[in-house]
Amino acid sequence: MRIISYNVNGIRAAFKKGFIDWLKTNPADVICLQEIKAHKDDVDFKQLEALGFHHHWFSAEKKGYSGVAIFSKQKPTAVVMGQGHAPSDREGRVIQVDFGDIRLINAYFPSGTSGEERQSFKYQWLDEFHAYLTKLKKKHPKIILVGDYNIAHEEIDIHDPKGNKNSSGFLPEERAWMTRFLKSGWVDTFRLVHPEPHRYSWWSQRFPSVRLNNKGWRIDYITVTEPLRNQIKDADIFPAIKHSDHCPIYLELS
């Protein structure tokens, strides 16, 4: 199974930047998107069907905001919209599918960059989501959790750790949550394969030179539960793909 996770920062904008042409290169069997900022009927999804994709969308109630989608060559055996947490589900943050005994969860974690209220919502969401996942693992031991986590975990995951020590996404409390999460039975697939520095998945759009000079953050992850550790075949980040301020990240399982 080859999986892509990709925050497209607006799927309609990504379509205009060649997203469909990229899909034609067959980058993966399952494509998980975050921040689609659209509903299914806003997009020419027939282009996806022509490429053989089954597609499932969970959009925010607010137009042009948040939302997640999963495109897959194989039809899922089950689809779950949301996580049963109303504030999160209204924002279209989580969609889940099953492929046999594997549960794939595509999540768009909240950002706290717009102020204290959203930062507080982020902390609450993180704790509630972790509790939800812990309970879910008892029923589904094999889980793949992909998405924009909006957290750079370690100093190696951000170009300027000292300058960003007070920035949302790299706050001590967020990083501590990520440490607890991983220690509770989850594997950071990219770091397992790639221990080297200077590998990022998001670059600020404020200054064009930021991406050119690779001054980024690694805030997009594919983590798996321990029972899937030995099935990790490859993991990577594809910064050359540029439909968004993020880039796709990749996992291959045997």
To the query of whether residue 108 is one of the catalytic residues in this protein, the response is yes
123-141 as b/e, with b when 16 or more CB fall inside 10 Å?
Answer: bebbeebeebbeebbeebe
Question: What are the distances in angstroms from CA 109 to CA 13, 16, 78, 134?
Answer: 21, 25, 22, 17
Both tokens assigned to 103: 């549960």
H or E segment at 189? helix 189-193
Of these residues, 6, 148, 188, 200, which one is catalytic?
148
Distance (Å, whole) CA 115 – CA 200: 24
How far is the C-alpha of 156 from the C-alpha of 169, rounded, in Å?
A: 14
Among candidate residues 6, 108, 221, 250, the one labeled active-site is: 108
**Most distant CA atoms of the chain, gap in Å:** 48
Is 148 annotated in the active site?
A: yes
How far is residue 170's CA from residue 168's CA, in Å, rounded to a whole number?
A: 5
Q: Which positions are catalytic?
A: 108, 148
